[in-house]
Amino acid sequence: MYKLQIVVLFALSIFIAGCDGDEDDGPNIKSLELTLSKSRIVGDNTDFAKVSVVNQDGRSVMEYITIYYDGETVSGDKIASPTPSVSTVYAMYNNIKSNEEEIEVVEDKNLKFNKNVLLEQYTGTWCGWCPRAIYQISNLQKTDNRVVHVAYHLSDEMTYSLNSTLFQSFGFTGIPTVHADRNIEWKGEPSEIKPLHTPSRIGISMEVTGNIALVTANINIMFGYDFAENLELSVYLLNDSLIANQANYYDTDPSSPYYKAGSIMGNFVHRNVMIKSGTDIFGDAIPSASVDIGSIYAKEIKFTNFSCSEIKKMIVIAFVTYSSGSRTDEVLNCIKARVGEKLEFVYEDS
């Protein structure tokens, strides 16, 4: 009898422990706390705020609750709308209601900008195959005035010290290499560039002033979204035309524009040569507190200690990239301006 009691008690303890485990695996909801990834979105039905709901223990209970936005149930965990409004979001589990959070949908007006494409060319005066890429870029610019070109020279007399660091960071191993928006390796087909002109949610204005000793760029960035990803600003100083020899392997190719130009082309004009970075070569972080719908982030960059014989040859380029998320390093928009030039925001189709 005594042994039977022990067996019964042992079985009962296993049953109770099993019940407790089942409860732990269930929702165990006594209260709900709702948070939004952001409180303002653009009314384009694409921008969204992500909803998170946890119980009293801080455990996600998204699979058990129902989300309500503007009095209607929401499928999934994202709030998007095409209509400007101010509404509330909350969650329910049976008769348990979460806190309410307010979300504003902003009218989609003057929040999209014409998109320029950054074309980064890795090159060298010793590279006999590089004239092909030089010609392709020149040819593209004849029909596309929204291309911002920069040439990074490697292992020659025009090399900037950080060019190879940038080159290697993308896993490139040979030149000529042309990188479009730090997104695709461009092979010279103009049709590949057209899709990259899709309107951007980043607008850039810039004024460049200075002389052969000091160049100052005053940059403003306007945000068309409250970006969840981190962003970075890069600002470089270029020389529009440096003269040097250029190796040419197309001297005997009748189909090349450089046919019979010489195996070494003398007094060759090298365009948009990178000579100095005014930020970290990979960009300076844009403070997240400065990023909001319609807000403007201002930055002044000064360039000194550079070699320049003619100030009219100096160009400043500025561009914004993602520094986090699935699109890290990709360019959102870019701009270029000469000394003495002031460029305003260019809104979509303006």
DSSP lists the bridge partners of residue 49 as 79
Residues 274, 160 contacting (CB under 8 angstroms): yes
DSSP lists the bridge partners of residue 52 as 35
Query: Would you state the pLDDT for residue 349?
Result: 74
Query: Would you state the pLDDT for residue 308?
Result: 86
Q: Is residue 2 part of a domain?
A: no
Domain end marker among 106, 141, 168: 106
Q: Is residue 88 part of a domain?
A: yes
Q: Is residue 172 part of a domain?
A: yes
Q: Which two three-digit tokens encode residue 214?
A: 């000091």
Q: Do 71 and 191 have their domain in common?
A: no
Over its length of 350 residues, how does the chain's per-residue pLDDT go in tens digits? 444 444 444 444 444 444 444 445 568 999 999 999 999 999 999 999 999 999 999 999 999 999 999 999 999 999 999 999 999 999 999 999 999 999 999 999 999 999 999 999 999 999 999 999 999 999 999 999 999 999 999 999 999 999 999 999 999 999 999 999 999 999 999 999 999 999 999 999 999 999 999 999 999 999 999 999 999 999 999 999 999 999 999 999 999 999 999 999 999 999 999 999 999 999 999 999 999 999 999 999 999 999 888 999 999 999 999 999 999 999 999 999 999 999 999 999 75
State the CB neighbour count (10 A cutoff) for residue 165: 11
Q: Is residue 12 part of a domain?
A: no
Q: Do 88 and 53 have their domain in common?
A: yes
Distance CA 234, CA 231 (A): 10
Q: Do 215 and 290 have their domain in common?
A: yes
Q: Do 92 and 214 have their domain in common?
A: no
Q: Do 182 and 311 have their domain in common?
A: yes
The count of structural domains within the chain is 2
State the CB neighbour count (10 A cutoff) for residue 73: 9
Closest CA to 42 of 227, 297, 204: 227
CATH of the domain at 100: 2.60.40.10
Residues 221, 320 contacting (CB under 8 angstroms): yes
Q: Is residue 138 part of a domain?
A: yes
Q: Do 81 and 225 have their domain in common?
A: no
- Coil, strand or helix: which one is 191? helix
- Coil, strand or helix: which one is 255? coil
Domain end marker among 61, 84, 106: 106
Q: Do 61 and 130 have their domain in common?
A: no
Q: What is the DSSP letter of 107?
A: P
CA dist 274 → 63, 113, 116, 189, 210 (Å): 52, 26, 19, 24, 18
Q: Do 328 and 236 have their domain in common?
A: yes
Q: Which two three-digit tokens encode residue 266?
A: 């003398």
Q: Is residue 260 part of a domain?
A: yes
Query: Would you state the pLDDT for residue 15?
Result: 43
Q: Do 211 and 284 have their domain in common?
A: yes
Closest CA to 233 of 170, 287, 161: 287
Q: Is residue 210 part of a domain?
A: yes
Q: Do 208 and 290 have their domain in common?
A: yes
Domain end marker among 106, 130, 165: 106
Q: Do 128 and 210 have their domain in common?
A: yes
Q: Do 159 and 230 have their domain in common?
A: yes
Q: Is residue 294 part of a domain?
A: yes
Whose structure tokens read 């503007």? 70
Range(s) of the domain holding residue 36 = 27-106
Say how far residue 135 (Cα) sits from the centre of its chain: 28
